[in-house]
Structure 1
């Protein structure tokens, strides 16, 4: 997947306990529709922003600085009355302890967005059943995905309850004649992604996500970076077990797409202590071959 340009500039005051509600930006782009009624899309943008930021997704009320910063960008390419088609970009970041740096957690583009919407209608989510219009289902799915990723990065397997809610939404959305939920002929569907995350076969990747962030990144900005880099190195080397199975995994390839820049920069400083960087280089060449020339071969081993 091509790198997605960041939708927002990042600044965050860090709170050690992981946050479970959102501080979201929302953009709705309808330029492809030409002279279509822009007011309807402004109303949609506002409705989505209010829906995402004002719904209690976890039952906790948090101050803004405690919330997860994320962005949703919808590009509308087709309209037929109250029916719309397009794509959505979803992003979320995680603060790194004692810094202003924020690490990408979720950064994906879903090309199979379709929904029904009437201007100024109330957006209501019911986790027990499909909405009938698909918009709140898609958005709510990605909200719980973000919550799961965030929790996993602060506590080992901490996102399981939120991933379970995302999986329930995917199950509710099956056979509803909307693209993006199928497990057949849609290799990067929402259902495939959440099923892989929940699948115990990918528990090592979830464990790596926790160790990488909590024991690695959160200690990387100490004066001595050696131990933190060793933790990140060891966590990434644990992914060797997926060398023969990662090619078709949406979950795994999403992780590599989101983290390749960060991984490269961490070990490109030349201050890597006793790490055998060539071992990591060889593994990254296998696990992320698209970055061989622009990243891994540039490491000085």
Structure 2
């Protein structure tokens, strides 16, 4: 084999070793679109999944079983003209719990304001420093949110690098004037406010610390050291409650309880009564809409 052939073989070998980090499933609900030919949505699904799962977002090495799992549910609400789509997006990210087959929902968020143009077979490119289109920017934004949340759950503030990229994406996309990227007070669920609360504002920094404490020193230790695990989960809930006192009903707080309310109401059933009692008091302050669910903990 020639020297060039050896170099080419080595190149493909190295490329193959750099496994992708994400394993997302994209689901597109087009029932409201009133489009009879739904082939475009099948192509859209394939294109979006390839964009998320087919590239390397970091320099870290991931084994196939370590890839971060998530779901992207896109609901097409309207097609105002050919090739233009108005949609909402539900983003969910899960994380394995050490020593179990259980996957913990770490992020659950509804993006209600996404308009994009899609042409069949169009290539999707991404540049961290340039707004190219409203598809690649949104997908890349949530790819880095998913990475940041996952990294935060394994190491304290471990997601900084990925949240910084997500913040750059927002800053670049603001120049496009497209909805969902702006600092609008009337749209506090925008991507701007999401990354602002997660990464820019110091008010909610405790919630990022809570992610690490809750998952790495809580959920991952329930089987091996349950007493310590329950105490750390309670402390994580306390951190979220303290952040909520400083700025009530923040988008980061809401996304935390949206992901964790069911899990907390189940995992703390075996905790000592004093842990459950204090956890319920805190949770009722942060998430009163789920009061019935939390009060069940006191009857366990």
User: Which TM-score bucket, shorter chain as reference?
Assistant: 0.7 to 0.9
Quote the residue 1:34 is aligned against: 34
Looking at structure 2, the residues matched to 85 and 145 of structure 1 have their Cα atoms a distance apart, in angstroms, of 22
Looking at structure 2, the residues matched to 280 and 62 of structure 1 have their Cα atoms a distance apart, in angstroms, of 36
- Deviation digits for residues 173-212 of structure 1, max 9, x if unmatched? 1042321112212110011010111122222111111011
Q: Name the SS of the counterpart of 1:127 in structure 2.
A: coil
State yes or no: 1:211 paired with 2:213.
yes
TM superposition outliers: structure 1 runs of 4+ over 4 Å: none
TM-score, normalised with respect to structure 2:
0.88
Looking at structure 2, the residues matched to 20 and 160 of structure 1 have their Cα atoms a distance apart, in angstroms, of 19
Q: Which has the larger radius of gyration?
A: 2
Gaps of 5+ in 1: 1-18
Among 220, 223, 231, the alignment partner of 2:222 is 220
Gaps of 5+ in 2: 1-18
> Larger helix proportion, structure 1 or 2?
2
- Give, in angstroms, the shift of residue 274 of structure 1: 7.0
Quote the residue 1:176 is aligned against: 176
Quote the residue 2:50 is aligned against: 50
Quote the residue 1:291 is aligned against: 290
Quote the residue 1:103 is aligned against: 104
Q: Name the SS of the counterpart of 2:263 in structure 1.
A: helix
**Pair 1:281–1:274, CA change in 2 (3 A):** closer
Q: Name the SS of the counterpart of 1:31 in structure 2.
A: coil
Say if 1:20 and 1:147, in contact at 8 Å, map to a contact too: no
Alignment of structure 1 residues 1-301 onto 2, 5 Å = 21-79=21-79, 80-131=81-132, 133-184=133-184, 185-198=186-199, 199-222=201-224, 225-269=226-270, 272-273=271-272, 275-300=274-299
Give the CA RMSD over aligned residues. Answer: 1.8
- Deviation digits for residues 58-97 of structure 1, max 9, x if unmatched? 1345332010011112111222112111111111100000
TM-score, normalised with respect to structure 1:
0.87
